């Protein structure tokens, strides 16, 4: 934090380190500020810093499920807008103060494999859980981006309703044709409620040459 009240003599007020395993913990990609809160995006994470005391800034919240290529952050009307090069704009409700309200529908994607031979199969675990105390209706989209840039919609905006605390964790099997292009594939899922993306997750795997 730098005080530029006197542009001829800027003063260093405080520092929040980004390489000590705290939050954020990677290279800073974008910064936005609102009142005494500073929001910082790094590699798949948006951290909230409380700078009410500029000499001692501290992390007060984190939202871990943003895309890894966020290039800009904006804050307006209680929402953080995270702009990604490849996935569009994600809206995050960070709640009162500098903390974050967790997503009401939590999405995670996981796979035990990261490389696969031509003609192989990639098992993908899709975890969807309603963390709210009330029922939630949401839209779920799952798409696969090929090394060629072609995007395949595997689930196109399916509308689901989960009761409070309900969750599912199915495993899907992605069967890969022998002639599938070699290279890195990206599987990305998004949750939308009332037209706003409230959570997202992705993973990559590589078809070997």
pLDDT score of 95 more than 70: no
Are the CB atoms for 153 and 143 separated by under 8 Å?
Answer: yes
With vertex at residue 42, the alpha carbon angle to CA 41 and CA 43, rounded to the nearest 5 degrees, is 135
Instruction: Average the pLDDT over 175-198 and give the result.
Output: 88
pLDDT tier for residue 49 given thresholds of 50, 70 and 90: confident
Are the CB atoms for 147 and 182 separated by under 8 Å?
Answer: yes
Q: How far is residue 93's CA from residue 38's CA, in Å, rounded to a whole number?
A: 14
pLDDT tier for residue 21 given thresholds of 50, 70 and 90: very low
Give me the pLDDT at residue 25, please. 47
Query: What's the sign of the alpha-carbon dihedral 127, 131, 137, 139?
Result: negative
Between 124-128, 167-171, 189-193, the lowest mean confidence (pLDDT) is in 189-193
Instruction: Average the pLDDT over 4-14 and give the result.
Output: 84
- Percent with pLDDT over 70 in the chain: 88
Instruction: Average the pLDDT over 52-68 and give the result.
Output: 73
Residue with the bigger pLDDT between 65 and 39: it is 39
Residue with the bigger pLDDT between 23 and 70: it is 70
Instruction: Average the pLDDT over 150-178 and give the result.
Output: 94
Token digits for 128? 């969807």
Side-chain-facing half-sphere of 203: CA atoms under 13 Å? 15
pLDDT score of 102 more than 80: no
pLDDT tier for residue 101 given thresholds of 50, 70 and 90: low
Q: In terms of Cα–Cα distance, which of 53, 54, 21, 59 is closest to 40?
A: 59
Domains and CATH numbers, the chain: 2-93 (2.40.10.480), 105-207 (2.60.40.3880)
What is the phi-psi region of residue 183: left when phi exceeds 0, alpha when psi lies from -120 to 50, beta otherwise? Answer: left
């Amino acid at each position: 934090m730098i005080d530029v009240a006197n542009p001829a003599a800027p003063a260093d007020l405080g520092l929040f380190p980004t390489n000590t395993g705290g939050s954020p913990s990677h290279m800073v990609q974008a910064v936005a500020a609102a009142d005494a809160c500073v929001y910082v995006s790094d590699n798949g994470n948006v951290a909230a810093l409380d700078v009410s005391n500029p000499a001692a800034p501290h992390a007060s919240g984190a939202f871990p499920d943003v895309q890894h290529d966020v290039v800009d952050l904006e804050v307006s009307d209680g929402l953080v807008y995270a702009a990604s090069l490849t996935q569009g704009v994600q809206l995050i409700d960070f709640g009162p103060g500098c903390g974050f309200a967790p997503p009401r529908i939590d999405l995670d994607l996981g796979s035990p494999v990261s490389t696969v031979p031509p003609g192989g199969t990639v098992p993908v675990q899709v975890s969807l859980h309603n963390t709210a105390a009330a029922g939630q209706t949401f839209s779920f989209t799952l798409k696969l981006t090929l090394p060629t840039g072609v995007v395949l919609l595997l689930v196109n905006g399916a509308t689901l309703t989960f009761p409070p605390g309900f969750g599912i964790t199915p495993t899907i099997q992605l069967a890969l044709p022998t002639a599938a292009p070699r290279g890195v594939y990206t599987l990305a899922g998004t949750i939308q409620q009332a037209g706003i993306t409230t959570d997202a997750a992705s993973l990559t795997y590589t078809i070997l040459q």
